[in-house]
Amino acid sequence: MTLERFVVEAAGCLKPSADSLTDAMDFLDDDYDEGIVEDTTAARLHDDDSVDTAAVKPKKVNAFRKRQREELTYLRSKVREMETDLERLQDKHAKFASDLTPWKILATQLRAEKDRAVQDNAAWRAALQDQIEFGNALHAILKKRPRLSMIPTLGDAQWKMLNLPASPVARRDTAATIVDQQYRLLPSVLVSTGLMQQTTNVTSCIPKSWHDDLLVVEAAACRYYEGSDFQLWAQMFWMVLTGELHLAAASPTLVLERFGEDMMYMDTPCRIVDLDGQCRDVVKRYMEPAREIFIFRSILHDEHVPLTKEFIANEMARIVVEPVDDLGGCSVKYFNKCTPPTLQPGVTSPDVAVVEKVIDGLIRHSSHILRHFEDVMNGLIPPSAPTEA
């Protein structure tokens, strides 16, 4: 074999076939589609095939934008549907209004008046039922012939006997112990009276029988004040109590002694039926982050400034001022519990008829306290429209 023939046959053996060339082109096309280009020369040779492949490959769809377009299309259809319904209702109403006769107009007015009358009757019926329950409770108490209580004798725990000793230090400590005890009982009192979650206007005055058939009258009220900061309201109320702010509706009180910036001892005249009495109260202001509390507790003995009247008021009161909403509104919750006036030692207990008058006067006294409380509040900040419950 000559050298020339060997070269020709070798060249024929190395000539690539069409199938192998096509496979190589497909392989390069796949690599290009995946972003991997290893041989730029081969990529240029098969550029036309790559363009054809890209034209056949479907375009990728953005699912998020497609979903947005579908939602917008749905909302547009709903808006058109609602506009159509509104136009139909307006046409129907206009046709109905044009067809109204004087008799139909009168019938509509009478129906509205009837609905209002039914609501008024329900409200009056509920109020009458409350009065009936009040009368039944009072009758049950009077059948037991309640008596007036005597001032208890003193023991070791002077704060339990509501006694203020003569020593200045002991007086301050005893006064603080008396009101702190009432402050600790506040949660249970709010729950039992229903004032814990109360935010709308409500008023109640209920007589009850206590230990040894002793009459107790519980009065409660809640008032809502729109756009009133609770801290401002509490400060104004404290200024009224201390005499720094004078209101015509406020009762004449005399501050006998101050035990600090937030506690004082005051004297208020008290009159029940035709009987003159005294009301000596220790008052303390508790300032919490989300509310302010005022505690009142009567004093039955005073060794330094003795009580001189035959009848001594025995009552306690709590006032809670707290915010209601984010718009600056606040609620003022008031609770008062009192017994018939306590007799001084040596005073003869009156007969049953007088006791009954005293009891009736006590209920009137509690109602007067509620009205007076509300007058003082209205003198500070006018309340919102009441929703009496």
Per residue in 263-301, pLDDT (tens digit) is: 999 888 777 666 677 788 899 999 998 899 999 998 888
Pick the closest to residue 358 from 147, 192, 170, 198 (CA basis): 147
pLDDT score of 160 more than 80: no
Pick the closest to residue 316 from 299, 300, 338 (CA basis): 338
| Residues in contact with 17: Cβ distance below 8 Å, sequence separation at least 6, in sequence order | none
pLDDT for 387 equals 44
pLDDT for 32 equals 41
pLDDT for 206 equals 77
What is the C-alpha to C-alpha distance for residues 237 and 375, in angstroms, rounded to an integer? 12
Return phi, psi of residue 132, to 5°: -65, -45
pTM of the model: 0.56
**Host H or E run for residue 312:** strand 311-323
Interhelix angle 18-33/47-56, rounded to 10 degrees, is: 60
pLDDT for 254 equals 82
Query: Tokens for 174?
Result: 């005893």
Give residue 238's Cα distance to chain centre: 23
* Identity of residue 108: T
* Identity of residue 274: D
CA 375, 377, 381, 384 torsion-angle sign: negative
Higher-confidence residue: 153 or 164? 164
pLDDT score of 182 more than 60: yes
pLDDT for 82 equals 94
The answer to whether residues 331 and 198 touch, using CB atoms and an 8 Å cutoff, is: yes
Query: Tokens for 335?
Result: 């609770």
pLDDT tens readout for residues 196-236: 888 778 888 777 766 666 677 888 888 888 877 888 888 88
Position 239 confidence tier, pLDDT thresholds 50, 70, 90:
confident
pLDDT score of 39 more than 70: no
Position 73 confidence tier, pLDDT thresholds 50, 70, 90:
very high
Higher-confidence residue: 78 or 388? 78
What is the C-alpha to C-alpha distance for residues 119 and 122, in angstroms, rounded to an integer? 5
User: Mean pLDDT of all residues in the chain?
Assistant: 72
Query: Tokens for 346?
Result: 């040596």
Higher-confidence residue: 163 or 275? 163
